[in-house]
Chains A and B, each alone.
Chain A
């Protein structure tokens, strides 16, 4: 059974690569700066956010742009990856109706192509680290851990959303609202410490994406994220669980997709 699965995956590896390539190519096609936007966009929005939040609210922290950038980059990947995965089944309805292809290829490729774009945009972060003199140490290497969790969480959410949205299209609008909620509880552009200790701190504590961003920031600033283990264990468990649930849901319902697209 498992061997058969692996064989099918091998056979469709080229398709997966083609779909990832297609996602990246088509995202910036017909724009003059093309793939450069992957770098320009986070730079520009970080400029705006820095201007607004340090200029107007008088934040003293010199590395504030790095703080914003880390939060924004990770959130953007989660939001665009999960959205693309959610819409992937309907976007490829023409193919699904005609030819047999293992269907998980579609959400998987959507998350992957967004991850590639995200990985490219991390160059901006490296640049920012030099400009604002945040120098790496050994703890910086642990940044890989939140990135893995982020990928799994996005994939899991994407699988769940893509399954549900085949049956209920309203979800596409509902998820926009959900993402807004998630964004505001991610502390992208304000100080998280004050928020966690406030009365509504629990909202932050149950948001796995916020925990991932927090861990990533700790690593980038060269701190030990394991100093508060709960903030690492919770998102790790949630991201693995989301993939498990996503895969099971998708597998159980994938044969019914064709009747609803």
Chain B
């Protein structure tokens, strides 16, 4: 067993800003002929280096545009870093934009299977977990209804239920602790707390320092794509408070 759950080694992520909106051949050819295909380089992350031990709960702090979401996407494997590498030990489940991977024509039940498959689980595993997921999402009556007829609250509840009931090793939380109504929010916080006890590794992004302090034992601060502090939550929180004053 490796000691670390996540190793981020000298990660840099470069974007070519001007290139992003070119999606028609005509535009491309015109720009190319005019010699306007300039690449406006922008490093969203640079030389980011840190390790997360198994069972750690790491808060990622930083102002808007500091590169927090980019870092999470690199760790989740959605972005391939321009430089450096990320090593993950264990199964990672992201809890970002809940329900964005659902198919609206599919029923709730079908989406449970589809979504779990996307997360890399097997059919047998989902068969076992199916009832728990439905029960946790409180959707027993609507599970055979197409998702397009769901309310947005029902969708997020289902997304949350799937991502947490599958027992991931690494959980990525991007300000999602405000799911559904007050009752469900309480339930989801309790669920996350109980997952903390079962030694899951957590990466947590939030603008609320209080919430980070309450949930995490470690933290890092990003500023303009650079890692400027990392360590125990109290030390790092003090630095962050100093910075945001």
Contacts and interface: CB of A to CB of B under 8 A. Distances in A.
Interface of A: 11-12, 14-15, 17-19, 22, 25-26, 29, 94-101, 167-171, 255, 258-260
Interface centre among B28, B78, B102, B123 (most CB of A within 10 A): B78
A168 B100 contact: no
B117 A99 contact: no
Interface in B186-204: none
Interface size class of B (residues with CB under 8 A): 20 to 34
Contact of B94 (A19, A94, A99, A258): A99
B2 interface: no
A52 to B, nearest CB: 35
B120 A11 contact: yes
A97 B77 contact: no
B78 A100 contact: yes
A22 B122 contact: no
A80 B21 CA distance: 28
15 contacts: A15-B120, A18-B113, A22-B114, A25-B106, A29-B105, A95-B101, A97-B100, A99-B76, A99-B77, A99-B101, A100-B78, A169-B24, A170-B24, A170-B25, A260-B23
A173 to B, nearest CB: 10
Nearest to B82: A255
Given A22-B110, A259-B16, 6 more contacts: A15-B117, A26-B103, A94-B102, A95-B118, A98-B78, A260-B23
A217 B26 CA distance: 41
| Chain A binding surface, main DSSP class | helix
Contacts of B19: 259
Contacts of A26: 103, 105-106
A127 to B, nearest CB: 31
A63 B102 CA distance: 47
Given A15-B117, A26-B106, A98-B96, A168 B77 contact: no
A258 B20 CA distance: 10
Contacts of B106: 22, 25-26
Nearest to B23: A169
Interface centre among B20, B92, B120 (most CB of A within 10 A): B120
Contacts of B122: 14
Interface in B79-105: 79-80, 92, 94, 96-97, 100-103, 105
B121 interface: yes
A186 B229 CA distance: 65
Nearest to B98: A98
Nearest to B26: A170
A83 B120 CA distance: 26
Given A94-B101, A95-B101, A260-B20, A101 B28 contact: no
Given A26-B106, A170-B26, A259 B117 contact: no
Contacts of B15: 259
Contact of B78 (A15, A99, A167, A171): A99
A11 B121 CA distance: 7
A63 to B, nearest CB: 41
Contacts of B77: 99-100
A97 B15 CA distance: 16
A100 B94 CA distance: 10
